[in-house]
């Protein structure tokens, strides 16, 4: 079945450092890929998405590129802020009826001032 | 615009008591609906999903059940809670017939004592 693998962390960075959270996937067909962010005590919010190969999703300074050849969707940000501290989930769906979302285990990011 | 409401936000229940968590979606029709559970420090576990009224698919056998009595209402229930049912429960919806993103509610923190 479909699966998502991502580094579990925790990842601890200083403010203004560069961030990369790796995500790789296995899926049948052509999945859509997502990054979600979860702040403490809250639900998941969509951060960015990409629906086909070579698409780049971007939002709030974060970006990720859909790499079909390496089956990857790594999350990057050039300069993190304390407010970026959260848990980040990589996810996919390869079902055209939206019945099957698969999430990675989540990566906890802590940014220190 | 579409919104998702999930309640209650927090709940403390004794072992053996019943459970009912409710989720409603506004601003869309015939959504896919999902219940996820997130144990402390863990990833997301899909419990149930529904593609229509009365249509429920269970992903994990346990003492929980789900019902969809109306198009935009999804209820998670239990007749007798176990300590292991403690966790963060998230409701989500997505557009039927597409591979677009899922939208999450704010979650319910359930503590079974």
B25-35 pLDDT, tens digit each: 999 999 999 99
Report which secondary-structure segment, H or E, holds B56.
strand B55-58
Task: Tell me which chain B residues have a C-beta less than 8 angstroms from the C-beta of A103.
Answer: 43-44
- CB atoms under 10 Å from CB of B68, counted, come to 20
| pLDDT reported for residue B96 | 77
- Residue A101: predicted pLDDT: 85
Q: Tell me which chain A residues have a C-beta less than 8 angstroms from the C-beta of B90.
A: 43-44
- B98 touches A at CB < 8 Å: yes
Angle (CA) B52 A105 A85, round 5°: 110
Where are any strands of DSSP class E within chain A? 3-6, 11-14, 19-21, 23-26, 32-38, 44-50, 56-59, 62-65, 75-77, 86-93, 101-103, 107-112
pLDDT band at B95 (very low <50, low <70, confident <90, very high): confident
**What is the nearest CA distance from B81 to chain A, expressed in angstroms?**
22
Given this model, what pLDDT does residue B35 score?
Answer: 94
Model pLDDT, residue B93: 93
Instruction: Report the pLDDT value the prediction gives residue A8, as an integer from 0 to 100.
Output: 81
Arithmetic mean of pLDDT, A98-111: 87
> Per the CB < 8 Å rule, is A98 touching B98?
yes
pLDDT of residue A98: 58
């Amino acid at each position: 079945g479909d699966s998502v693998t991502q580094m579990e962390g925790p990842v601890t960075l200083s403010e203004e450092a560069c961030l990369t959270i790796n995500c790789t996937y296995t899926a049948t067909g052509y999945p859509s890929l997502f990054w979600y962010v979860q702040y403490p005590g809250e639900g998941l919010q969509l951060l960015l998405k990409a629906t086909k190969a070579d698409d780049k999703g971007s939002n709030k300074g974060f970006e990720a590129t859909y790499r079909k050849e390496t089956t990857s969707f790594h999350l990057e940000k050039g300069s993190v802020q304390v407010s970026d501290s959260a848990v980040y989930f990589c996810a996919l769906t390869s079902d055209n009826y939206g019945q099957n979302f698969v999430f990675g285990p989540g990566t906890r990011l802590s940014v220190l001032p | 615009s579409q919104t998702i409401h999930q309640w209650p936000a927090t709940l403390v229940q004794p072992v053996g008591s019943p459970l009912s968590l409710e989720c409603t979606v506004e601003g869309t029709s015939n959504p896919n609906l999902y219940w996820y559970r997130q144990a402390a420090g863990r990833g997301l576990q899909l419990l149930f999903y529904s593609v229509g009224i009365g249509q429920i698919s269970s992903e994990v056998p346990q003492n929980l059940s789900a019902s969809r009595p109306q198009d935009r209402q999804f209820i998670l229930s239990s007749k007798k809670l176990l300590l292991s049912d403690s966790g963060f429960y998230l409701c989500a919806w997505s557009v039927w017939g597409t591979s677009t993103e899922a939208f999450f509610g704010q979650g319910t923190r359930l503590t079974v004592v």
